[in-house]
Amino acid sequence: MASQQELVNFAVGLTIFWAVTYIMSRVLPLEKYGVTVQPAYISYRSSWFKRLLYKVSEHRRGLWKTYSNLGVALAAGQMAYAIYFLMENLTRFVQPDGGPSPVLPILPGITVRMYWLPYLLFAVAIAIITHEAAHGIVARVEGIPIKSAGVILLVALPGGFVEPDEEKFEKASTTSKLRVLAAGSSINLLTGLLTFLILSTVFSGAPSGAVIIETVEGGPLDVAGIQRWDVIYAINATPVRSVGELVEYLGDASPGDSLILSTSRGDRLVILDEASGEGTDRVWSMLGTVPPFLNYYESRLGLGPAVDVHLYLTLYWSFTVFLSIAVMNMLPLHPFDGERFLYTLFRRFTGLDRWLQIAINAFSLCLIAANMVMSVIRNLILI
């Protein structure tokens, strides 16, 4: 299938990129310019990024104080929700119709389909850079120096880092520590909510078509010239406003039927193929396509389907990634911020000893590991 070839091409291209990059790092004096290259890892220490954080922290300090205080409350809520979500998700795994959410690491082509990767990488890069920037700005507001800041690339995942002075951080008050630790996840939560607001404002609430994601080579859609990201608006002049309406219309169709599909590429003649399976599987086999499927939402900007589809997916994945990082980063598990946040609280108010910290980490690790194992068992591997 096309997706398998895409995975192969991606793996080959990534291998070549890292081989060339590593060889160049051994020849060129990159460290002189703040660039460090290791196998599958690049970091760039940026003096410009560091100066920017200092500059931003010097303006509207009262606003940043208000934000960081709010962030502490938000972080506590996010931690509680992270634990609740993982525990409640486990119960849905054991229910026949529970509808659990997959909990898996980002592995292109293994846990995430290749065609989602550009949107995912964009969202992850923005989420991590803003996350680290918020840590740095609040650290400066609290009087904690920043040792370094920059951007990284780990295998294929871009991101950023801000390294505060750990000695000064440890000497800071408990309140200051909590503000700094909460800042990253709080900004992810707020940007996630802002992204959702933009998504809801830019796009209409009701779908107006069905987006094709993947076609079977040699199948009816492929033969008719319908490709990935094309939108189906109507069948035989009957409007198809969603994937559900598409399935409903084709439920009474038979193999060999000729259909005129009104698409974003114009009208196309499609002759249905032999059917296999039942229900929606039967419909997909006749069309020559496979899941997943998307409803098409037209933007209020009048950009057209070629732009609308990708803008919608960019905003949707950004919203999903921002909120996922906001919540999961507050899980009390090393090396997430949630672990240091909870440890700082407990050490201040209860005199937390090392064994309790280990027990909390073990509980969180078991919780997330159980969700991952159940995701694999329930075959929720590909998103």
User: Residues 344-368: what's their mean pLDDT?
Assistant: 81
261 and 280 share one domain: yes
CA 316, 268, 206 angle in degrees (round to 5)? 30
Q: Is the pLDDT of residue 1 over 60?
A: no
Listed residues 238, 261, 296: the one ending a domain:
296
7-16, 109-118, 204-213: which is most confident: 204-213
| Residue 138 domain-assigned (yes or no) | yes
- Split into its structural domains, the chain has a count of 2
Question: Does the model's pTM come out above 0.75?
Answer: yes
pLDDT tens per residue, range 234-277 = 999 999 999 999 989 888 888 888 999 999 999 999 998 887 87
184 and 229 share one domain: no
Instruction: Report the alpha-carbon distance of residue 138 to residue 281 in Å, rounded.
Output: 52
Instruction: Report the alpha-carbon distance of residue 103 to residue 85 in Å, rounded.
Output: 11
Instruction: Report the alpha-carbon distance of residue 62 to residue 269 in Å, rounded.
Output: 63
Instruction: Report the alpha-carbon distance of residue 82 to residue 181 in Å, rounded.
Output: 16
89 and 219 share one domain: no
A 10 A CB-CB count for 273 gives 18
What local confidence, expressed as pLDDT, does residue 358 receive? 84
Under a CB-based contact definition with an 8 Å cutoff, are residues 215 and 230 in contact? no
Range of the domain at 126: 40-202+316-377
**pLDDT band at 180; cut points 50, 70, 90:** very high
What local confidence, expressed as pLDDT, does residue 352 receive? 62
Of 222, 225, 249, 221, nearest in space to 235 by CA: 249
- CATH number for position 229: 2.30.42.10
